[in-house]
Chain A
Amino acid sequence: MNIAVQDSAQAGRRKQLVLVVALEMVALSAAAVAMIFFDLGWVGAILIALLAGAFTIAIVRVGEGKAKAEGNFSVAMGRYNRRMLVASAVYVVGLFGAIWADELIRPGGPLAFLIGFLPSIGVLVMVVAMARLVAEEEDEYQRSRHIRASLFGLGTLLVLATIWGFFEQFGLVPHVPSWAAVPVFALGLGLANCLPGRRA
């Protein structure tokens, strides 16, 4: 393919990705406003989860198309994307299932632990997907970037958890549940990919 055609295809993919992300932000903001002002209940929450899921699938597809157009797509990254989509679906089902079961049967003893564990399953699948990505990535530069991003995410988590923990100890900030560890780690991963490239 000639370079001008390649460049225009890549620019087209970039625009598509920006458009889908912008659409998702608008749609989810509108959904959040609707949740605040109207009592949408369970049906509303499930519809918003489905909407977020549909947009996530769209973003993954457009993102993969962009990576392929730029010659940066890897089989390992494709598998990672699929696993994360499955993990997200498992997480949503586990979370809604746990909330529903908790409200309906008010469990106690081991059953309460089992129900409390349900939302963790999807998150644990995400952690496994991240580990598999590093293990399966055959492109050594991409693998080094994944490792660097993971270390940055881990550093972000350690720094924030330490500072927040002591602030909490002195009653300066509210308590944050420990399940926030994975989202904070993921935030660090995302930040690492946005930082200007350093020598690997």
Chain B
Amino acid sequence: MNNRLKILRAERSWSQGDLADRLGVSRQSVNAIETGKYDPSLPLAFRIAELFGLAIEQVFSSPTQHQSKAI
């Protein structure tokens, strides 16, 4: 699953630690999600989207959807 977490975080000048504190998760979790090593559960994905005031699909996108657009 692709995400715009790093960009959204950078726009707000938040460190990974800042975002982790706001979400109530570890900094490792934020790093793993940002780098695509871990796909968050739906409840956490909704929490992330709500924190940025966006819809979930504005933060996360399907990699297959991304590929088909590129084709």
Contacts and interface: CB of A to CB of B under 8 A. Distances in A.
Q: Do chains A and B stick together as partners?
A: yes
Interface of A: 3, 6, 70-74, 139-142, 144, 197-200
A72 B26 contact: yes
A73 B28 CA distance: 10
Contacts of A3: 15
Contact of A197 (B25, B32, B39, B44): B32
A45 B20 CA distance: 45
A137 B39 CA distance: 17
Nearest to A197: B37
A81 to B, nearest CB: 15
B37 A74 contact: no
Nearest to A73: B26
Nearest to B18: A71
Chain A at the B interface: mostly helix, strand, loop or mixed? loop
9 contacts: A71-B28, A140-B25, A141-B25, A141-B40, A142-B26, A142-B29, A197-B32, A199-B36, A200-B38
Contacts, number: 47
Interface in B1-58: 15-17, 20-21, 25-29, 32-33, 36-41, 44
Contact of A141 (B15, B21, B28, B36): B28
Interface residues of B, number: 19
A20 B12 CA distance: 39
Contacts of B39: 200
B37 A200 contact: yes
B40 A71 contact: no
A142 B28 contact: yes
Given A71-B17, A74-B26, 12 more contacts: A6-B15, A70-B28, A71-B26, A71-B27, A139-B26, A139-B29, A140-B29, A140-B44, A141-B25, A141-B33, A141-B38, A200-B38
**Would you list the 7 A-B pairs with minimal beta carbon distance, nearest first?**
A71-B27, A141-B29, A71-B17, A200-B38, A72-B26, A72-B28, A139-B26
Contacts of B16: 71
Contacts of A142: 26, 28-29
